[in-house]
Structures are given as structure tokens and as C-alpha cells.
Amino acid sequence: MSLSLRSEDRGVAIPDSIPNDLITEIFLRLPAKSVARFRCVSKQWRSMSHLPYFTELFLTRSRSRPRLLFALQRGYPCDWSFFSSPQLQNPYDCKVSVGFHMKLPREMCTERFCGPVSGLIYFCIREVSQKSDKDAVLVFFNPRTRQYAKFSELKTDFSASFLGFDPIDKQFKVLSMSRPYHRILTLGTGNMRWRKIQCPLNHLPLGEVVCINGAMYYSAEVSKSSFAIVCFDLRSEKYKFIEAKRYLEDLFNYKGKLGRINLRYVKDGNTLALHVKVLEDVENQKWSKNVYTLPENAPVDRYDAYIVGVSATGEIVLSERRTSQQRFYVFYFNPERNTFQRVEIQGFGDYYHQNPAHSVSVFVDLVEDLHVNDAKYLKSSQGLDIIRERPTPLKPLPIPQKICSSAPSLKNKYELLEDLE
């Protein structure tokens, strides 16, 4: 792309074009949405941003500045709004502000969802149609770009379904479980259809799924009063079962391994401790165990806080359950350094100053990955109804400028999913 500036305007010689290495360095400092827009400038810029070297380096830099994702839930049917804020990087930060991303339309109300998995969130809703009173509809959306798509070709005889991502083949897959067989759906294929797969052991999924390095882990009941942790490899589409004496919840990605963390009071009834178990060896089903005691003055209410997850740098993140006009906090505990920090999250009140308290779901390590081209996975797939209009904005307005400036916007309702092509 030529740079048309007159040298006499500044009195110095200016080159005719921007060097490629400088363009690359500029791109690496931008959010994924801006990089996607610049791909439309020229074929040269488009090819540069698709190079494996660039996408890997972009992901590396994105991981160095991860964010927290906040999903605020209010009322019934559930009203969902999504925000994000910088994740703790400076140990002296005590306050951060959120940026608004999107609010789901009322017709997409749901009580729970799966994700985020490599930037995408997935859930299932029921819609009334001519074929059935209530058809199951899968919805995939990216809260950072405000774009989403529906897939309606699904029978209603499933008990649970989860979204996973294979980082080797760069594929999203949905695992749907119903007896006597399971099905799998691969996004981004030219002819997107459900495939039946064999499961060696009938089981009933319980709780949430954790996706770690291309494997999905979830708790399940395999028979009456008999439980296990199921490991499903997304690439080979094979199952493994890990013995469990009871139903195990609070599963997390603990620095690349499956972990389980409980928050309990110690015997004195005043001090809180984190009980951590990490699956060190999947084949031999060996766990390591540690107990970490929080500081005596840690301002954490056991009954009003929960464990969010573990950051890539090893901090165990906790959060309050609800937010209102009062202050809202997240907490970081580093077991290796034995440090504890409380961070105030600001900005929710600017949107909900007249509404009652919201329940909050928090997710750690939200990063931008140019490998995850949701336009490719969604737009090219048959059976998907691509939603072209921006979801309904939050009210009341106006939104404070310091928060509004970080929110992405669409020029018009026909902007589809071009932002990540």
C-alpha cells in the first residue's frame, strides 16, 4: 500500500511505502478485530496477516495480556450481558474498569452456556417452529466481535452437549450425548452434519466441561451411585474414564492439567483454605494434593464467593457471586508466592444503576487467537443461520466515554462475520 505524503510538507524525505516488518509490528500491537479490518486494505496486507509466523506471534502476545470475561445474568428468562477487563498483571493494581461487549437478544435467552472455548461461547435454546413445538437450536457467538450464528438441525433427544476445540487441527467440535449413542458435529466443514460415535460406557454427564489441550473433561454418573471423570479426546474422538468415588465438581484447567479446587473453612471456622488436587498422570490416574491457607484477614466470604479458575501464570482466581450498585471484587491467590490480592471491578454500575443485583460468571485467560477464524467455522457451514444484525445495545444510555471507547461497533447490519476472515 502506497503512502501518499509530500516530502515538502515536512521538509524531509518520506519513503513511498511502509516496510513490511513495520506493518507486521503495527499489526501485532492491535486487537484481532482491527487486524481483520486491515485485511481488506490490500492483498499484501491480507497475506501477511495469514502467515503462520504472524498468527503464532500474535497469539503469543495476546497470551501476555489476557483478560477476564464477565457474564452478567438477570431475571427469568435469563438476560445475559458480557464485559471484559484486564487480568491481573501489575501486583499493585487494586482497581480495573470493564468494557462492554454485547447483550444477548431476548429471543436467545438461556439459563446456561458452554465456554468460552478459544473465544467462542456455545449454548442451546428451544424455538417454536412448524416442525415441532420446540426445536433445539445451537447458538455459537463471539462476545468480543458481537457476532453469532444459529444451527437448527438437531433432534431434541439429547441429554447434554459441550463445545471443544482441537488446537492441532484448529477445529471446533460439539459433542452431544444421548443414550444409547453419542454424536459429534465439526464446525467449518462444507457439509456440516452430525456423526454417530461409539462410547464404550453409557454415562450421564454432570456439571460443566473443561477443555484442556484438545481434551474435554467432565464428571458423569456411570451407574446408580457410581461416578467417573470422562476424558474425551477431540482429535481421535476416543473416551477414557477416570475413577471417582463420588460426583466431582469444581474442575479446572490447572496450568495445562486437570485440577479440582475446593474452598473450605479450616477447623477454627474463621480461616479459609484452598484444597487443590491435580491429575498428574491420566493413564495411571495419579493425583497430587495440596492445601493452601488464605491470609487470616482475607476479605472473602465463603458463602458469597466461588472459585473462577486458574490463570496461565498460576494464580487461583475467586470472585463474588453477585454485583449491584455496591462494589464488586475478584481475588487472586498465588500458591507459589503465597500472595493474596483483592481487585475492585468498576463499571457495572454505569449500566445497571437502576436494576437489582446480577449474578456474575467470570472466566479467566480470555485471549485473541487469529487461528480461530469464526467466520470460517460459521459462515461456510451449511445449516447455519448467520445473524447479521448487531445484538440489542444496553439501556439506559448514554454509556460513559471511558467504557464506550473500548466497545467494538458495526457500521451497518450487513457486516456479517468479515471481521475475522
pLDDT tens-digit series, residues 167-183 = 888 888 999 887 667 88
In the predicted model, what is the mean pLDDT of residues 187-209?
83
C-alpha span between 279 and 94 (Å, rounded):
33
pLDDT at 317 over 90: yes
State residue 288's pLDDT score. 95
What domains, with CATH codes, occur in the chain? Answer: 65-388 (2.120.10)
Q: What is the pTM of this model?
A: 0.76
pLDDT at 144 over 70: yes
State residue 76's pLDDT score. 63
